[in-house]
Structure 1
Amino acid sequence: MAEYDYDLFTIGAGSGGVRASRVAAAHGARVAIAEEYRVGGTCVIRGCVPKKMLVYGAHFAEDLEDATRFGWEIGNAKFDWKRLRDNVLADVDRLNGLYTQTLENNGVDIFGERATITGPHEITLASGETKTARIILIATGARPHVPSIPGHDLGITSNEAFHLDAIPDRILIAGGGYIANEFAGVFNALGAKVTIVNRSDKLLRGYEEALRDRLLQISITKGIDFRFNADLRGIEKNPDGSLKVSMTNNDPIDVDCVLFATGRVPNIEGLGLEAAGVEVNDHGAVTVDDEARTNIASIYAVGDVTNRVQLTPVAIREGQAFADRVFGDKPSKVDYSCIPAAVFSHPPIASVGLTEAQANEQLGSVAVYTSDFRPMKNALVQRNERALYKMICDGETGRVVGLHAIGPEAPEIIQAAAIAVKAGLTKADFDATVAVHPTMAEELVLLK
């Protein structure tokens, strides 16, 4: 066997790359990882973790308003965006340090620079230094897509949203997916006038229709504007520094900030994939088999760069399975069925399994159970916002094939319920479970 500098060289220190590198090293492999920005990847540095912290901060707006109904006199409460922003970024620094420490503690060599694949077993660093490895793992993730419209450089993406100097008075968010709806909830709660512009007539494609409709209804009640079937045509700067955004089927709108939330594209540019002969698909994603191997036997890929399921826990599972299989002699593959997901909107959505439409397509008989209720807290504060839970079952066997919820703490509730769906439990199993009262979660065992 040829002698290499490393058994594994990982390009990209995000969730999938870090997990794969750490586990491979624990199996005794000699491992190196290259990261041109910061260890932790999109989720930790500029994605789900700092975003969730902003969501927490934004929820205080309603909580402070509701507090008076619970007997509290808050006084002249004030919000300081820069304080929240800086505290969030400081915690990102902390997490970056922890991820780096984890790799170092496992004996992984870290190169803080860009790496390019220059052969089936060769990597060239930005410094010009070359390294060889028996196995190369591509884990470079994805980045926000920016539409090619005139003036696109005047907008920002989710990457820059965490670094704003102030909450904009008026913000236009382009897109209808989870990133668009999450930031819409945050900025709206923190005082911005939010307009969502979506090229189709649907929000959150792939989620249960009843939940999507409920979120739209609640969002409009909260003051968020929506423009559907609208393609952005261009952005130009007004004399006063504001932005004029033109679009199809709608009048132009003046705003102070444009946030693109129009999807994410795999990071493959400049990686040397063409020179190495690594195949990519029509969407620019690295093509892999069910063992994460590319068409080049020594090169693998995990995470968002493969564009299979763009979720952090999936990237982690893929990295773990890859390392166990290749370096730990533990046959392991990722099961992509029944993956739970959440949208941290205001209120949040959570889902696992089939939607009603999907179940009708795949199953001969379907039974649907729902609970449409006002959470106890909302009742006391006289807020009419209602939660909705929906269970989809195989009509023949009673097996639960899908659970969907919108309401406070829905993601926390669905995580445990997803175990039951994954295990193939039935509606009768849910019905036989004693409720925890009074909770919102008890509705899952009281569905009619």
Structure 2
Amino acid sequence: MDISYDLLVVGTGGGGSVVARRCNDAGWSVAQIDNRPFGGTCAQRGCDPKKVLVGAAHAVDQATHLHGHGLTAPPAIDWSDLMAFKRSFTEPVSEARERALEDAGIDAYHGTARFINEHTLQVGNDTLEGEHIVLATGMQPVPLPFEGADLLTTSDEFLELDALPDEILFVGGGYISMEFAHIARRAGARVRIIQRDSRILPPFDADCTDRLTEASRDLGMDIHLNTDAVRIDKTDNGQLAVTTRGPDGSEQTYTADLAIHGAGRVPNIEALDLEKGNVDAGRGGITVNEYLQSPTNPRVYAAGDVADTPGLPLTPLSGQESHIVADNLLGDTPHAATYGLQPSAAFTLPPLATVGLTVDEADAQEREVRIIENDLSGWYSYRRIQADTAYAKVLVDAETDAIVGAHLIGEQAPELINLFTLAIRHNMTPADIKDTTFAYPTHGSDLQYMV
């Protein structure tokens, strides 16, 4: 069936949904397309369900630290019950999203979209023509170039495990691996991490990640740095044998019940047939100008993780880009995308968080900064819960005395980083923080002593 629309949106997560809703509200005819359950990655296969699992792991972690300090034997995770609780959040998403689209008058199409020409998409048996097209297809696991890589379990599949295996090996040491590894370890699994880099979570401050590595090893995780996975085989007893190559070139094989792909993600563009739509793309995703518009096919825009922009692959930034695309489709004056502070967190236990300049970035900019470091583990906020890993590094501009960066590990780091984000955005100085009255005793009130 051939159907024409004012706007075709490929993807139903944060990058596509805002622009679809706003253009529909403006009276445009809109269709949204997805080859997976409607609602996007974050709500169903990413941040939200992960955080539900982290909540249980966090409860076990805190109870373990306080065992013998007022608490008796700590609780244990019942994986089946936890999965059922997680599904109470994820299972309603797709039906609710489709019902909302129907109520709004947005047409929903299930299937893989591919370009036929610059203004037409094929979705199953339907041929959809769009005056404008927005691509918001997100990311997918990066293909790994070694034999047996197809035996790896994805993060999507981990979040649907009915039972947790005894031994789990993670290939990669980024967000997915480290967050899931801490969940699995608190749930009783033995965990091994194979990381090709010299440290885990490279985007974060090295002093923070070094402390997390030590804490993870103290918890019983085996972490192998500067090590590559080079082959995976099935064993006769149903396990997986993962062969690795260390920094000295020697090979070592480790067995596990499950091996999980945590070695990074790439823009999900393979199925789109972009060349037929005259849409350029590179390793970073779909090529766009400052207005998030394809330079080679101006009727096409991209938003979220699939677009090659300076934005980090974070849900809030996908939504912001979707708003910018809507502004540019509906407005008379083009609106350029700007990327300021981008706070991020890794929900390990303890968690990491970062915002603003790193020391390396300050050095690269030849910007003189004052570095304020504090080991927080002996501070009241952490000692009262027996947390043994907590650290803060704050960067202050030497000329203006404004706070320009913050890097944290420890309890409530993801919440504290939001306070630092506000401080940096409003050019606050350490004196401004010290002059502020905070509710006490809270982690927030510690800011006065971190700067």
2:433 to 408, 430, 433: 430
Any conservation in 1 of the 2:285–2:306 contact (CA below 8 Å)? yes
Give SS of 2:336's match. Answer: coil
Deviation at 1:88, TM superposition (A): 1.0
Which deviates the most, 343-352 or 92-101?
A: 92-101
2:147 corresponds to which residue? 150
1:261 corresponds to which residue? 262
Deviation at 1:339, TM superposition (A): 0.7
Deviation at 1:413, TM superposition (A): 1.9
Any conservation in 1 of the 2:121–2:127 contact (CA below 8 Å)? yes
Structure 2 CA distance for partners of 1:437 and 1:90, relative to 1, 3 Å:
closer
| Alpha-carbon distance in structure 2 between the residues aligned to 1:425 and 1:334 | 25
2:211 to 214, 226, 229: 214
2:43 corresponds to which residue? 44
Give SS of 1:293's match. Answer: coil
Q: Does residue 1:413 correspond to 2:419, yes or no? A: no
Deviation at 1:159, TM superposition (A): 1.2
1:85 corresponds to which residue? 83
Structure 1's unaligned 5+ residue stretches are none
Deviation at 1:69, TM superposition (A): 4.6
Deviation at 1:156, TM superposition (A): 0.5
2:289 corresponds to which residue? 289
2:129 corresponds to which residue? 132
Any conservation in 1 of the 2:138–2:268 contact (CA below 8 Å)? yes
| Alpha-carbon distance in structure 2 between the residues aligned to 1:265 and 1:82 | 31
Structure 2 CA distance for partners of 1:389 and 1:103, relative to 1, 3 Å:
farther
Any conservation in 2 of the 1:134–1:298 contact (CA below 8 Å)? yes
Give SS of 2:329's match. Answer: helix
Q: Deviations over 1:211-261 (max 9, x none)?
A: 111111211111111111111111112222111111112521111111110
1:163 corresponds to which residue? 160
| Alpha-carbon distance in structure 2 between the residues aligned to 1:441 and 1:221 | 28
Deviation at 1:67, TM superposition (A): 5.2
Q: Does residue 1:180 correspond to 2:177, yes or no? A: yes
Any conservation in 2 of the 1:368–1:392 contact (CA below 8 Å)? yes
Q: Deviations over 1:341-373 (max 9, x none)?
A: 111111111111111221122143111112221
Alignment map for 1:23-422 (pairs within 5 Å): 23-66=22-65, 68-69=67-68, 71-73=70-72, 77-126=75-124, 128-249=125-246, 250-281=251-282, 283=283, 285-294=285-294, 295-308=296-309, 309-329=312-332, 331-374=334-377, 376=380, 378-380=382-384, 383=386, 385-422=388-425
Structure 2 CA distance for partners of 1:10 and 1:274, relative to 1, 3 Å:
same
Structure 2 CA distance for partners of 1:447 and 1:150, relative to 1, 3 Å:
same
Give SS of 1:96's match. Answer: helix
Any conservation in 1 of the 2:60–2:76 contact (CA below 8 Å)? no
Any conservation in 1 of the 2:350–2:389 contact (CA below 8 Å)? no
Deviation at 1:165, TM superposition (A): 2.8
Q: Deviations over 1:264-296 (max 9, x none)?
A: 111112212111211111x16211111111120
Any conservation in 1 of the 2:288–2:308 contact (CA below 8 Å)? no
Deviation at 1:68, TM superposition (A): 4.6
Structure 2 CA distance for partners of 1:330 and 1:25, relative to 1, 3 Å:
farther
1:16 corresponds to which residue? 15
Q: Deviations over 1:360-395 (max 9, x none)?
A: 2214311111222125465245x3513112211111
Deviation at 1:439, TM superposition (A): 1.6
Give SS of 1:156's match. Answer: coil
Give SS of 1:251's match. Answer: strand
Any conservation in 2 of the 1:398–1:427 contact (CA below 8 Å)? yes
Any conservation in 2 of the 1:178–1:343 contact (CA below 8 Å)? yes
Q: Deviations over 1:299-335 (max 9, x none)?
A: 1111111243211111111001111221244653332
Could you state the TM-score of these two structures normalised by the residue count of structure 2?
A: 0.92
Structure 2's unaligned 5+ residue stretches are none
Structure 2 CA distance for partners of 1:164 and 1:303, relative to 1, 3 Å:
same
Any conservation in 1 of the 2:382–2:411 contact (CA below 8 Å)? no
Any conservation in 1 of the 2:321–2:337 contact (CA below 8 Å)? yes
Any conservation in 2 of the 1:389–1:443 contact (CA below 8 Å)? no
Any conservation in 2 of the 1:18–1:103 contact (CA below 8 Å)? no
Structure 2 CA distance for partners of 1:367 and 1:377, relative to 1, 3 Å:
closer
Q: Deviations over 1:16-47 (max 9, x none)?
A: 11111112212222211111111111111111
Give SS of 1:118's match. Answer: strand
Any conservation in 2 of the 1:27–1:328 contact (CA below 8 Å)? no
Count of aligned pairs: 442
Any conservation in 2 of the 1:177–1:261 contact (CA below 8 Å)? yes
Give SS of 1:420's match. Answer: helix
Q: Deviations over 1:99-142 (max 9, x none)?
A: 3333334321111222222122212221x221211101111111
| Alpha-carbon distance in structure 1 between the residues aligned to 2:82 and 2:35 | 27
| Alpha-carbon distance in structure 1 between the residues aligned to 2:387 and 2:263 | 31
Give SS of 1:270's match. Answer: helix
Structure 2 CA distance for partners of 1:429 and 1:105, relative to 1, 3 Å:
farther
Amino acid at match of 2:55: Y
| Alpha-carbon distance in structure 2 between the residues aligned to 1:244 and 1:174 | 12
Structure 2 CA distance for partners of 1:303 and 1:364, relative to 1, 3 Å:
closer
Which deviates the most, 433-442 or 334-343?
A: 433-442
| Alpha-carbon distance in structure 2 between the residues aligned to 1:384 and 1:109 | 51
Could you state the TM-score of these two structures normalised by the residue count of structure 1?
A: 0.93
